[in-house]
Amino acid sequence: MRALGTIAIVALLTATGVAAAEIPEAQRRSGSTFMAPDTMAMQNDDTANPGMLWALDGEALWKKKAGSADKACADCHGDIRTSMKRVAARYPAFDKALGRPVDREQRINLCRANQQRATPLAYEGRDLLALTAFVAQQSRGTPITTGGDPQLEPFIAKGRGLYMQRQGQLNLACANCHDDNWDKRLAGSAITQGHPTGYPLYRLEWQSLGSLQRRLRSCITGIRAQTYDFGAPELVELELYLMSRARGMPMESPAVRP
C-alpha cells in the first residue's frame, strides 16, 4: 500500500513537472504586452507603424501582373479584404501536393510558380515581405486558428520536439527561455513567451520588416547552434508548433517590436 502511494506521488510530481514547463492558457501573453507604451502606440497607429509601408507596397504587388501567365494575385483572389480574411491566421497549413505544411511565404511562392508561372520571390526580400504583410494584415484582430487540421499533428509534434530540444554551444532549448523564464529579462530585454502573433513584423532593432523565420534564425544563432536555411522544413515545423501554441490569440500583423 505504501509502495503504491509512493508511485502515485512520483507520477503526480512528473505530471506537474511537465505541466509547469508549458505556459497555462490563462497566462499566455503576446509579445506586445511586454513592450513600452511608446512602441505599443506606434504599432496601433497605422500612420506611425512602419510595417504599413510594406503593406502599402504589398497592395500594389497584389494588383500587379507577373510571370508568363500574366496574372496578378487579384485576378484569381479578387478583393483581398474578403478573399484573404483570416487566412494568414491559419498558417502554416497542410499542402496536399507536397504532403507537408507550408508557411505563408511558401504559399505565396507556390502560387507564383503554379498560377503565375513566375520566378519565386527571395526570402526576406522586399516584395515577399510586402505581399506577406498585406495578406497578414487582413487577419488583424482575428484569433489564430493554426493546427486544426489533423494531418498537421505529426508535424506539430516534430516542431514541439525541436522547441524542447537543447542544442548549440550554450546547450539551450527554446523552452528554457520562452517557457521557463518568460517573466525575466535577458540583457535588459524582455524574454517574452514566443507567441508569433504579429509576423511579419517591424523590429526597431532590424530597422526593417522581417519574417518569423528571420526571428527564429536569430534565436538559433544566439544559442550558438547551426541554423537552418530559409524555408527548411525544420523551421516551418517550428513555426507551425509556435502558431498552434498561440491558438486563440489575436493576430497583430504587421506588428512593431523593439
Partner 1 sequence: MAAALINVPAKAKSGEIIEIKTLMSHIMETGYRHTVSGEVVPRDIITSFICRFNGAEIFRADLFPAISANPFITFFTTATESGKFEFEWIGDKGFSETASASMTVE
* Residues with a known catalytic role: 219
Q: How far is the CB of 123 from partner 1 (least distance, A)?
A: 18
Distance CA 247, CA 256 (A): 20
Q: How far is the CB of 49 from partner 1 (least distance, A)?
A: 8
Q: How far are the Cα atoms of 74, 149, 235, 245 from residue 99, in angstroms, in the given order? A: 27, 13, 16, 22
Q: Rule CB under 8 A: choose which of 47, 68, 169, 226 binds partner 1.
A: 47
Distance CA 14, CA 36 (A): 38
Residues 112-151 that bind partner 1 (CB under 8 A): 126, 130
- Per-residue contact string for residues 50-79; x = within reach of partner 1 by CB under 8 A: x-xx--xx--x-------------------
Nearer to partner 1, 52 or 121 (CB): 52
How many residues in the shown chain lie near partner 1 by CB under 8 A? Answer: 15
**What are the residues facing 175 on neighbouring strands?**
none
- Per-residue contact string for residues 200-239; x = within reach of partner 1 by CB under 8 A: ----x--xx-------------------------------
Nearer to partner 1, 12 or 48 (CB): 48
Distance CA 76, CA 172 (A): 45
Nearer to partner 1, 10 or 36 (CB): 36
Nearer to partner 1, 86 or 126 (CB): 126
48 binds partner 1 (CB under 8 A): yes
Q: How far is the CB of 61 from partner 1 (least distance, A)?
A: 9
Q: How far is the CB of 50 from partner 1 (least distance, A)?
A: 4
Q: Which stretch binds partner 1 (CB under 8 A): 7-15, 32-40, 41-49, 110-118?
A: 41-49
The overall longest dimension of the chain from CA atoms, in Å, is 77
| Helices 51-63 + 126-137 axis angle, to 10 | 90
Q: How far are the Cα atoms of 79, 127, 172, 199 from residue 15, in angstroms, in the given order? A: 49, 47, 22, 33
Nearer to partner 1, 53 or 110 (CB): 53
Bridge-based pairing state of the strands 201-203 and 256-257? parallel
Q: How far is the CB of 60 from partner 1 (least distance, A)?
A: 7
**Which residue reads 505565396 in cell numbers?**
108
C-alpha cell at 17: 513537472
Q: How far is the CB of 179 from partner 1 (least distance, A)?
A: 33
Q: Identify which of 220, 250, 211, 187 has the alpha carbon closest to the alpha carbon of residue 54.
A: 211
> How many other C-beta atoms can be found within 10 angstroms of the C-beta atom of residue 166?
13
> How many other C-beta atoms can be found within 10 angstroms of the C-beta atom of residue 67?
14
Bridge-based pairing state of the strands 201-203 and 189-190? unpaired
Distance CA 119, CA 68 (A): 10
- Rule CB under 8 A: which residues touch partner 1? 45-48, 50, 52-53, 56-57, 60, 126, 130, 204, 207-208
